[in-house]
Amino acid sequence: MNKIVVTGGLGFIGSNLVELLINKGFTVINIDKVSYASNFYNVSSNKKNKKYKFFKIDINNKKKILNIFTKFKPICIFNLAAETHVDRSIDSPKEFINSNILGTFNILEAYRNYSKNNNKSKFIHISTDEVYGDIIKGRTNENYPYNPSSPYAASKASSDHLVVSYIKTFGVRAIITNCSNNYGPRQHPEKLIPKLIYNIINNKNLPIYGKGLNSREWIYVDDHCEALIKIFERGKIGNFYNIGSNLNVNNLKISNLLIKIAKTKINIGKNVKIKFVKDRPGHDMRYALNSSKLIKKLRWKPKINILNGLIKTFDWYLKNPGYYLTLKKRDITARLGNKFKW
């Protein structure tokens, strides 16, 4: 009875969650369709672990998903399978509708069927702070209205609404989490922090949208994963939980912090300079969560501050050059899918 399914477990957050769950004694069934952002390198340390099993399945394949649920009888499903990169959603929204909305529908259908005979299991749906839209002042609690700006955020908002409808209509035992911007080891370099680290290591310019003043609430991935496990153990069915660090840092400051860290570890090249580039369409200025519900009711709090987290992240990429070799060069250098490049 200690089996857990993680969808999207070859991705960034998913692979970190897989490792943490195994370290806590759970048997993990990892389901992933193996997209461009999936990486077997992320789970290589558990490849031969008896507590780890992998299945290449798209969550849109309801029949195969249900077969996995029926066979292993998991006590929890963490649904992290999703397209997540805003830039790519601008370039190609269709993939986000297919994975994030239709995929959520199909896995909910499979779980609804499975849970009829397993009524103590839980479905944890992982979402994002971007569903709340641009937050110029203050912080959003779980009752704040959704106001997504990008196709990505809209697709995640839609998936959240689907989960709520299944809770209310069918009594599905689900919980929804909305997390702020994650960073840490194993993150695909299409995202800001690993992109900057890659460019610093390889003596390239550091491209920053607009004037670099867009502010994000950065949380180290291990803190997010610990929160997810806490929510699985103690969270209330039918509830939303915000997960954030309560610390906002703009992109320009993140870039400068990484340059300072790099100077203590490597000889950086002459090309390592911040380069402001044309902003992307609909770029929200600020996201900010109020996570007091999680902190007070479930007694969770983040442990890794931004400086230590960036140091740990930089060290991981520096010590794992093989990670970049598993990626297509275009996926490292391109930012906005096929149409827009840095």
User: Which sequence positions are flagged as catalytic?
Assistant: 129-130, 152
What is the DSSP secondary-structure string of 254-321?
HHHHHHHHHHTTS---TT--EEEEPPPTT--SB--B--HHHHHHS-------HHHHHHHHHHHHHH-H
Sheet holding 76-79, edge to edge: 52-56, 27-32, 3-7, 76-79, 122-128, 174-179, 240-243
Structure tokens at 121: 């299991």
**Largest CA-CA distance found in the chain, in angstroms, rounded:** 62
What is the DSSP secondary-structure string of 31-50?
EE---TT--GGGGGGGTT-T
**How far apart, in whole angstroms, are the C-alpha atoms of residue 160 and residue 123?**
12
